[in-house]
Amino acid sequence: MHKEGSFDRFDNTESKNMTGIYGEAREDLEDILHMLESRVETLRARYREDDSDPVEHCLGRIKSEESMREKCRRQSLPETPASALGAIHDAIGLRVVCAFLNDVYMMRDYILGFDDIELVQEKDYIRRAKPNGYRSLHLIVRVHAPSSAGRTYYAEIQLRTISMDTWAALEHHMKYKKEVGGNTELLVSELKRCADELASTDLSMQTLRDMIKQ
């Protein structure tokens, strides 16, 4: 089990129900999420002035106790703050859904432009879609907690277009439906086809917007 950076202060003993799997870090996580959401909102407000808000919607969450414990078990990690905050990187999650493709990369640069955020890993599933058709830009970052000097936490930021978001929501929904039965192969290939068509529509919409802007 790897522990790193400021997470070394969390021990590997089972968390008590009193504090939960995030232990004493819960408040820091909430502060960071709030800070990230506020930054997105600030940018949106700026763009709204000339009616060009690049964000369709923005959703933030602290991974629930239950999902985090389930993820620890899935990865054969002890259900401890050290696992939840050190080995697993999505205790804090922010999803920013943009109207246009270029806005996704503009948001990326904006978010990474702050001094208290460090990029740990970038997974560009837009340039290289997952085999099932999933597209999104994922940033794993380390963020300084605004009110706890020296403490940093991981966050996963997902950036995508409305089309990518719609597809991911439907695909997620279908994954948990049992009545697919013998048609799984067809369903998978149809989903992939839809994802590719949506990606092509995203490109066309971007071209149209660029033409209008000119």
For ligand 0O2, the closer of residues 53 and 112 by Cβ is 112
CB of 168 to ligand 0O2, least distance (A): 4
Residues 22-61: x/- map of binding to ligand 0O2 (CB under 6 A)? ----------------------------------------
CA distances from 108 to 50, 116, 126, 157 (A): 21, 15, 13, 9
15 within 8 A of 23, measured Cβ to Cβ: yes
Residues 58-87: x/- map of binding to ligand 0O2 (CB under 6 A)? ---------x--------------------
CB of 155 to ligand 0O2, least distance (A): 12
56 within 8 A of 98, measured Cβ to Cβ: yes
Residues 95-134: x/- map of binding to ligand 0O2 (CB under 6 A)? ----------------------------x------x-x-x
The percent of the chain in helix, strand and coil, each rounded to the nearest 5, is 50, 20, 30
Binding of ligand 0O2 at residue 165 (CB under 6 A)? no
For ligand 0O2, the closer of residues 90 and 103 by Cβ is 90
Among 15, 25, 81, 90, interactor with ligand 0O2 by CB under 6 A? 90
**Which residue lies nearest ligand 0O2, judged by its C-beta?**
134
Cα–Cα dist 159/132, whole Å: 18
Beta-carbon count within 10 A of 80 CB: 21
Contacts of 31 (CB under 8 A, 6+ apart): 145, 146, 147, 148
- Decide: helix, strand or coil at residue 97: strand
Among 62, 93, 124, 162, interactor with ligand 0O2 by CB under 6 A? 93
Cα–Cα dist 85/49, whole Å: 38
CB of 175 to ligand 0O2, least distance (A): 7
Of the candidate spans 19-27, 104-112, 164-172, 190-198, the one that interacts with ligand 0O2 by CB under 6 A turns out to be 164-172
Q: Which residue matches tokens 């389930």?
A: 70
Cα–Cα dist 81/94, whole Å: 20
Judged by the rule CB under 6 A, the positions of this chain that interact with ligand 0O2 are 67, 90, 93, 123, 130, 132, 134, 138, 168, 171-172
